[in-house]
Amino acid sequence: MNIQEKSLNYLKSLTAETISNAKSGHTGSALGASSIILALFHDHLRFDKTGTNWLGRDRFVLSAGHTSAMLYSILHLFGYDISIDDLKHFRKYGSKTPGHPEYGVVPGVETTTGPLGQGVANAVGMAIAAEKMHNLFPNLFDNYTYCYAGDGCLMEGVANEACSLAGTLKLSKLILLYDDNNITIDGERTIANCEDISKKYEAMGWNVILVKQGNNYSACSKAISKAKKSSKPTIIIFKTVIGIGTKKEGTSSVHAYPLPIDELVELKTDLGVSENFFIPEDVYAFCREATEKNDNLINEWNTLFEEDKQKYNRYFNLKPYNFEKALKVICSTPDLAGRDASGKVLCDLAEDNYFFGGTADLGPSTKAVVKTTEQPTPTYFNASDYFGLSGRNIHFGVREHAMGSICNGIALYESNLNVFDSTFMAFSNYMLPALKMRAMMETPVLSILSHDSIDIGEDGPTHQPIEQLSQLRQIIGLDVFRPGTYAEVVATYKHFIEKRKPTILAITKSKISNIEASTIEKAEKGGYVLFETGKKPEVEIFATGREIYIAIEVANKIKGASVRVISMPCISEFEKQDATYKSKVLLKSPKIKIAIEASNDNIWHKYIGENGLLFNIESYQFSGNGDEVYKKAGFDSNIISSKINKILSKKK
Amino acid sequence: MNIQEKSLNYLKSLTAETISNAKSGHTGSALGASSIILALFHDHLRFDKTGTNWLGRDRFVLSAGHTSAMLYSILHLFGYDISIDDLKHFRKYGSKTPGHPEYGVVPGVETTTGPLGQGVANAVGMAIAAEKMHNLFPNLFDNYTYCYAGDGCLMEGVANEACSLAGTLKLSKLILLYDDNNITIDGERTIANCEDISKKYEAMGWNVILVKQGNNYSACSKAISKAKKSSKPTIIIFKTVIGIGTKKEGTSSVHAYPLPIDELVELKTDLGVSENFFIPEDVYAFCREATEKNDNLINEWNTLFEEDKQKYNRYFNLKPYNFEKALKVICSTPDLAGRDASGKVLCDLAEDNYFFGGTADLGPSTKAVVKTTEQPTPTYFNASDYFGLSGRNIHFGVREHAMGSICNGIALYESNLNVFDSTFMAFSNYMLPALKMRAMMETPVLSILSHDSIDIGEDGPTHQPIEQLSQLRQIIGLDVFRPGTYAEVVATYKHFIEKRKPTILAITKSKISNIEASTIEKAEKGGYVLFETGKKPEVEIFATGREIYIAIEVANKIKGASVRVISMPCISEFEKQDATYKSKVLLKSPKIKIAIEASNDNIWHKYIGENGLLFNIESYQFSGNGDEVYKKAGFDSNIISSKINKILSKKK
């Protein structure tokens, strides 16, 4: 037996033991894919055993995240900070070896995976970022992106969208390692998917390589060598046997089946392994070859990086942003549509700093298009001109979901880039799984979601967001801004750029303006006093976005009591403020508390209580003129103020 | 000029006028696709001019919903209840001719479209339903499903998922009319999509027909004739010119461009049309040929239907459901896992009534699999055995989004079928756009979402739903049940079956049981008194799902005050109850209000106010044993009760 085979056997044994010991996990693909991933790590992958510190490393994404035990065994073998003891704690509370690979928890994991398809789209994003960085710094960045995926990943829409774009962009250094074991949870793959996958990927502009012996180390390694030479993205179709070597091999029942002790012993015996949780020294030595080779590469790269550091910092670190200047730029034009204000701020900030992103075929509508004095015509990242600095925008096509996941991948590759994506707010639904992953990983991407309420008008209820605002606010770790003034728009960009947090910019197509009491500093705090009709206010009105203008009108129409209007562009940021600040903004015991927002979010009851007055929307609206739709839904200061006055007069 | 050409010219003119008059709408594809849709309606489509009453009609879906003006013109020409005056009110508030086609608003519209890709998946669902109904009633159902789609639709993941399944299922009577005008909003299609679409669809098991002269009536008609003979689903690729006949033809700028009056006049002149909003009698007569032919078909069909009515009713109307019996069935086994209780109720109800649906490759996990005494092994609807009654389950593959949209299509086809889909609650995110459309159209589908909270455990935070519950509850018109007792599970099914409303069944993988105070009747009301520790309760605890057991434990540990526990399986249903009922359930002015739910929904503040105590989850959790994860997140009656006791003792 050669050392490759021996190593493969010990890898399989260790993985199967890890899962059996946890009594939970996915033995099937973990055994079936061992050959592919061992060959990749030993013969090809440029990795950093300390984790994700080396910027020049190849990227590896385990899109089929349930194969985690195999990955953790591999990481152990190749010198990452995963010990045998960590493997013994697989899937235990708070361990370094969770059920699915988690970014920031497991060393070397590039992105959190588990929800199928996401990893494939992340990998496409990483490959885009790699090309972009290669073009900015040709000496530093020339890495490959490898992605391991199973049938489940390839069936998901998000993966199909992403792979279609990858073919269009000719991302030649993207290599998809497809574990074609023909088995899904419900049974054979063909019960739900009869695609000719090879032909389909060719049709999408991919290079296709078939490996009939996918469980053979050298067959796997040779195929990867071949893929690296392609001028297109490559899918390698590895024909493998799920749960190879076990009694249940080749069936769906081995998918999530921790081997019972007798079956584990039988498998280990067949593999020639007699020890428990043990790796012999020659296997460690075999893996160390690759680790040491990579340690040398890292040293060489660091020398190169020192040379280019100044240039790198110029792009990503040095220039301080001038947000007040950006505000002045838009203040020169009063009454801009919200989306136009956003677009202008984006372009102004992009003058000195690197923004990279795009829209899902809605550039002319959401205005999320980078133009600069130097490049007054927007430049696009594409197959023909990405050799240069020119492409600052991406045509994502009508692929909202992949756009979101791809941007996660871009930002995961280089979190100093100012990455943005954009579509209509109504279609944020399509991106939700990507936004969730982004929030969970705290990946800095700005989503510019325009047409943020029913005043989109004529396109009708399918295009009029009502529940989207609240659905986005529910995502833990996503900072949702809905600015209504110029300063609040700039504050949103400032929050994203300085805090490097996943941020939503929900922006109206209607006009907004500059209000003196609204400053960038105040807006950044998430909530602040925007307006008061007199001293000692007894009525408190919360509003966001376009509704702050109605709130001010309403305040002026309230009789017999002073009114405070609180603008709340970002509730989650306001929540983070200290008690002193909050007590300055919130009234102590107002006569009545009111919230006005053209959404159906119930979070306002947290502020106005069960007896407060909530002016919102609780039914789908009609196709019609935007202002008319808005007014008919009740967003009219006369209607609102008369209701409040009626209640106030009763309270007297 | 022959009458086809003349009719086409007047159709185009009427459509362009409709959009120009509204000063809003999408001229581009409306002109470019006229030839295809006119040929379809005149030469092929079996339609009912009164709308969607004729069950045997062909189905036509305008997936590229922005092409609505053209559809409305067509509907006018073919005798539907759309007048010239309605066209003059295109996109006006409350009109019958909204910006995008709306189900239930525009006569003849089979499904609401606008968000791209949805219509394609709906059509796949309709084609599945047609096959199913054909197999149940071969004499009655043999219709085709036609779907018009553009580049945008085909780029969407949901369409790719659905078309992949359609190929697998060999849905030969599904015909996709692809308007290949090579233009998207951002520019030429190839800037974002270089796919060889013909080859891709072949790879997915489709028949492909290319029509080079897509703007020619008879070329379009011939291709459709050919497609009808295929043994696979067919995509007809019509090469068309967007905005044909206008100055901006063939460019992206004509997409959403209402022609200004001079350009409109020029177009009309070229088309030989001098009148305004006018159709000559010979054109009406030409269209009337098809309408009359169809009226005759409807009469013939109605005779056939009378013969089969008894059988039809046997499937869909006659048998009363015995929900108490279903409850008794599960009560015979105490402490079932929630998902198992759901699965057993599903199977019991399916004994006498037609359930049809499936899971996204999670049958063994969500237990949403129909088995009956007659068919103890689940039968699957698939290409080889759908000739018969056998297939009651569908393998949707790992395609959550398409599953949701396809089920919308099945239920839209035959709303008397009990249609269900199912996946893990965490992945309901992937389905959200479909659920939104379902709620908007009030399409009766039951979504069985298992593993409804963090106690899924070892799979970690990617699989632990926290925000999903609230995101689903936000969707207007979606009734979200989260049952915690056997009776509540049955009540959820009862609600779905009797109310025919889009319903979510969020169900735990943990054990639940039968509680005497919990009855089907009470649970149906959405909220009710589950438990009291004594008379005159002063503490009020709201809970749902698994948390009701904790709430009862907590109640028993509260010192110095009686406690009422309110179970709230469905908040939206409780909201619909009258004030008398609500006042019986809710305490008048309790000392303290509490909500316990393993989600991050803020809707509870609507009940407990700004000062109530909310025990919920506000951060992502860890991979680990389910019960451990749940407890560490604070769901422990000792922790909760001691907090409450502390507050109560202060209040004394």
pLDDT in tens, A559-574: 999 999 999 999 999 9
* Average pLDDT, integer, range B635-648: 97
Please state the three-class secondary structure of B281-335 as a single string: HHHHHHHHHHHHHHHHHHHHHHHHHHHHHHHHHHHHCCCCCCHHHHHHHHHCCCC
Interface A–B counts its CB contacts (< 8 A) at 350
Q: What is the ipTM of this complex?
A: 0.97
A317: exposed, middle or buried (C-beta count within 10 Å: 0-12, 13-18, 19+)?
exposed
Can you say whether residue A441 is alpha, beta or left, with left for phi > 0 and alpha for psi between -120 and 50 degrees?
alpha
Please list, residue by residue across B411-428, b when 16 or more beta carbons sit within 10 angstroms of its beta carbon and e when fewer do.
Answer: bbbbeebbbbbbbbbbbb
Least Cα distance to A257 among A525, A26, A585, A426 occurs for A26
Percentages (nearest 5) of helix, strand, coil residues in chain A: 45, 15, 40
Q: Which of residues 462-521 of B touch A (CB under 8 A)?
A: 462-463, 466-467, 470-471, 474-477
Cα B176 from Cα B184, distance rounded (Å): 19
pLDDT in tens, A365-384: 999 999 999 889 999 998 77
Residue with tokens 């396809």: B406
Contact A192 B397 (CB under 8 A): yes
Residue A214's contacts (CB-CB under 8 Å, 6 or more residues apart) are A32, A35, A36, A179, A180, A220, A238, A239, A240
pLDDT in tens, B171-222: 999 999 999 999 888 888 888 999 999 999 999 999 999 999 999 999 999 9
What's the mean per-residue pLDDT of chain A?
A: 95
pLDDT in tens, B15-73: 999 999 999 999 999 999 999 999 999 999 999 999 999 999 999 999 999 999 999 99
* Average pLDDT, integer, range A539-550: 98
**What pLDDT, on a 0 to 100 scale, did the predictor assign at position B83?**
98
**What pLDDT, on a 0 to 100 scale, did the predictor assign at position B388?**
45
Pairing label, strands A183-184, A174-180: unpaired
Helices (H), A414-477: 428-441, 468-474
* Average pLDDT, integer, range A473-500: 97
Query: Which of B185, B193, B473 has the most A C-beta neighbours within 10 Å, making it the best mutation to test the interface with A?
Result: B193
Residue B355's contacts (CB-CB under 8 Å, 6 or more residues apart) are B346, B349, B370, B392, B417, B418, B419, B420
Cα B183 from Cα B253, distance rounded (Å): 9
pLDDT in tens, B208-223: 999 999 999 999 999 9
pLDDT of B386 strictly over 60: no
CA B560 to chain CA centroid, nearest Å = 50
Of A94, A361, A429, which has the smallest distance from its Cβ to B192's Cβ? A361
Q: Which of residues 127-166 of B touch A (CB under 8 A)?
A: 151-153, 155-161, 164-165
pLDDT of A388 strictly over 50: no
Q: What SS3 state is found at A574?
A: helix
Q: What SS3 state is found at A48?
A: strand
Cα A60 from Cα A81, distance rounded (Å): 17
**What pLDDT, on a 0 to 100 scale, did the predictor assign at position A314?**
79
Of A116, A459, A602, which has the smallest distance from its Cβ to B114's Cβ? A459
How far is the CA of A530 from the CAs of A299, A578, A612, in angstroms? 55, 19, 20
Cα B12 from Cα B35, distance rounded (Å): 9
Sign of the dihedral defined by the CA atoms of residues A616, A621, A623, A625, in that order: negative
Question: Of residues B550 and B312, which shows the higher confidence score?
Answer: B550
Least Cα distance to A152 among A124, A110, A113 occurs for A113
**pLDDT band for position A129 (cuts 50, 70, 90):** very high
Cα A236 from Cα A98, distance rounded (Å): 28
Residue with tokens 């109640």: B555
What's the mean per-residue pLDDT of chain B?
A: 95
Name the amino acid, one letter, at A76: H
Residue A262's contacts (CB-CB under 8 Å, 6 or more residues apart) are none
Bridge partners of residue A532, in order along the sequence: A564
Of A398, A474, A624, which has the smallest distance from its Cβ to B470's Cβ? A474
Please report, rounded to a whole number, the percentage of residues in chain B having pLDDT higher than 70.
98
CB B107 within 8 A of CB B75: yes
CB B624 within 8 A of CB B639: no
pLDDT of A391 strictly over 70: yes
Q: Which residues of A touch B95 (CB under 8 A)?
A: 623-624
pLDDT of A85 strictly over 90: yes
The DSSP call for residue B140 is: T
Of B92, B158, B436, which has the smallest distance from its Cβ to A624's Cβ? B92
Q: Which residues of A touch B429 (CB under 8 A)?
A: 115, 432-433, 436
Q: Which residues of A touch B462 (CB under 8 A)?
A: 65, 100, 102, 112-115, 437, 440
**pLDDT band for position A317 (cuts 50, 70, 90):** low
**What pLDDT, on a 0 to 100 scale, did the predictor assign at position B91?**
97
Pairing label, strands A528-532, A563-567: antiparallel
CB A564 within 8 A of CB A540: yes
CB B252 within 8 A of CB B184: yes
Torsion angles phi and psi, residue A2, rounded to 5: -80, 170
The CA distance from A527 to the nearest CA of chain B, in Å, is 17
Bridge partners of residue B407, in order along the sequence: none
The CA distance from B6 to the nearest CA of chain A, in Å, is 31
Active site residues of A: 400
Q: Which of residues 611-640 of B touch A (CB under 8 A)?
A: 611, 618-620, 622-625, 628-629, 632
Residue with tokens 């796949």: B124
Type and span of the H or E element at B259: none
pLDDT of A386 strictly over 70: no
First to last CA, chain A: 93
Q: For residue B516, count other CB atoms closer than 10 A to its CB.
A: 7
Q: Which domains can be identified in chain A, with CATH numbers?
A: 3-300 (3.40.50.970), 323-506 (3.40.50.970), 525-651 (3.40.50.920)
Residue with tokens 């809003």: B24
**Lookup: tokens for B531:** 């438990």
Of B153, B430, B609, which has the smallest distance from its Cβ to A610's Cβ? B609
B577: exposed, middle or buried (C-beta count within 10 Å: 0-12, 13-18, 19+)?
middle
**Which pTM value belongs to this model?**
0.98
Bridge partners of residue A422, in order along the sequence: A359, A448
**Lookup: tokens for B420:** 């269900």
Name the amino acid, one letter, at B17: E
Q: Which residues of A touch B362 (CB under 8 A)?
A: 185-186
CB A595 within 8 A of CB A547: no
Q: Which residues of B touch A611 (CB under 8 A)?
A: 609
